[in-house]
Amino acid sequence: MKPRICLTARQVRISASEELPMSSSLPPTPPRQLDETGFIDAARARLEEVYGPRSDAILRRLVTLISHQRGAIDATPRPLWSERDQWLITYGDSLLDGDRAPLEVLKGFLDERTEDIFSGVHVLPFFPWSSDDGFSVVHYREVNPELGDWPDIRALADRRDLMVDLVINHVSRDSLWFVDYLADSQPGRNYFIEMDPATDLSQVTRPRNSPLLVPVSTRRGTRHLWATFSEDQIDLNFDNPDVLIEFVGILLFYLQQGARTIRLDAIAYLWKEVGTSCIHLPQTHAIVRLLRAIVDYVAPGTRLITETNVPHRENMSYLGLERAAMEGTAPDEAHLIYQFTLPPLLVHTLTSGDATALTQWARSLPALPPGCSYFNFTASHDGIGVRALEGLLPQHEVDVMLDLMHRFGGFVSMKTNPDGQDSPYEINIAYFDAMKGTRRGADAWQVERFLLSQNLLLALQGIPGIYLHSLTATLNDHEGVERRGQLRAINRRRWQLCELNELIDSRSTPTREAFGSLKERLKQRAAEPCFHPEAPQRVLETPPGLFAIERGPLPDGRRLLAIYNISDQRQPLSMPELDQGQWLDVLADGNVWAPDEREILRPYRSLWLVQPGLA
């Protein structure tokens, strides 16, 4: 039995008037929908958690704003996800071609080269910006003219789902809001957080080692402002409800432009309260739940995803599972969380040749209720965060990995701890080069090791996100680091389209091999019902050199085994599950799995074995 072919983009991006082909025993996940009464009740409760006695007036303003903007948003309910959901992550200018608008170049590349294997695309901040490659936003409602314009964005959203960043924690000091603040004018006068520099802020959790308070010269003299990430990224004051209302308006505007997934950037640091860590505060969670109520009301099927590069348990809190269990309700916070543990844990696993920690972590993941899932990735525009490994790996193992990444051409960025000491925050390296070798050094298995990391990613429960530079096996961009003066530039290369096309079309290049292999795997994944985000996942017992999971069984009995040799040594296959009937090899055109494969699995080999269910 051969796997079903990949569906067209029109079928992948399901509209309300379309029916999904009957190819899976798990239907696309329906969205939660709120009527007007349900929305007002939910919004009132969330606003009371944040603003107390001020909440009634804020609710009236919120309802008025939504009533004025809702008519321009496509409110047709859409399924949240199915096995066909798989995303590309890219900057708007990662592909360049002469004088053509980069967003136009990106759309052409997706249409012509990826054959609709991606159901969605996350275009990283495409707004005018002053630093941090887009995350220091100057104008939230404009497209950077160097990239294109809103019609280019809407054209991308027309054929596939679009993820847009809501950079909600901070704004560029070049923004008009900040100009208002300096001049003591509305609306920006009260948009920022002034703090006496003598205030004890030692408990504040920092993701950077830059000063937390930035001195600023204003008409009222020198003021010190809260800046979690950099002196150019000034934190916004959500204790001022005007800021909340402004960002709800921005959210609605993005929905009007066709966005169907909203990424809440750096959301964990949103609310500040002196004397606390100023991370994951209850008010922050309440605001996420408020935004969830808004999208469930105005555009059911819109997904919220939280970006919180923190230890695993803290990251999980944004699904709201524990609170929902206590209240006896369905979770109503984020739909998706970034699986930040996966990128560094895979680096450790594949460079050590030992899957023990990966197996233990995967086994600890809870079964998620409908409407909640993971966004699985190995690489993104940021580095490989190491905070997610806290409590999962002993420090000496982390240190070994950091040293190895240095040897493979990477860097390590630091953060400041409450005691004033610095500690590693993230590894800056191209993921392809992170797979250059093992602890013994570089070897000849780089391509195979890298492709296994991606094959493993695709099989895990959740929705996969593939960074453009993983799709193209991009190397460390040391020239970019020198030219742009930031370590993260090592993984943010800007390709000339002609150069990239030449590498893809050449007979023998890592780019060609990675690109072709990942395209094929993505096609196979999109056609396999067992990869539905809500299909059960069970981690199997294996020796340290193997990692294996079962997806399913589905209601019709279909199940899939994903087995990986994560080492550079041949591994014997002695798993009782393999003796339970006949298996079909998805990665070999659906043919019956050959008996000789039961004995030995070659280094960095992947198996996707399926037992079909009832006809």
Transcribe 497-559 into DSSP letters. Answer: HHHHHHHHHSSS-HHHHHHHHHHHHHHHHHT-GGGSTTS-EEEPP--TTEEEEEE---TTS-E
CA distances from 242 to 57, 59, 66, 176, 385 (A): 11, 12, 15, 15, 33
CB 224 within 8 A of CB 215: yes
Both tokens assigned to 141: 């409602």
Both tokens assigned to 522: 């993505």
Cα distance between the two ends of the chain: 12
User: CA–CA separation, 473 vs 451, rounded Å?
Assistant: 9
Residues linked to residue 565 through DSSP beta bridges, in sequence order: 546
Q: Does the annotation flag 382 for ligand binding?
A: yes
Q: Does the annotation flag 85 for ligand binding?
A: no
Q: Does the annotation flag 280 for ligand binding?
A: no
The yes-or-no answer on residue 265 being catalytic is yes
Both tokens assigned to 612: 């079909």
Q: Which of 161, 265, 332, 354 is catalytic?
A: 265
- Rounded (10°) angle between helices 510-526 and 446-459: 20
Give the torsion sign (CA, 426, 427, 431, 435). negative
Residues linked to residue 496 through DSSP beta bridges, in sequence order: 96
Q: Does the annotation flag 488 for ligand binding?
A: yes
CB-based burial label for 29 (10 Å; 0-12, 13-18, 19+) = buried
Peptide linkage before 187 cis (omega within 30 of 0):
yes
Q: Does the annotation flag 236 for ligand binding?
A: no
Q: Does the annotation flag 132 for ligand binding?
A: yes
Give the torsion sign (CA, 277, 280, 282, 288). positive
Q: Which residues are annotated as a binding site for substrate?
A: 132, 170, 263-265, 381-382, 488
Residues acting as catalytic residues = 265
Q: Which residues are annotated as a binding site?
A: 132, 170, 263-265, 381-382, 488
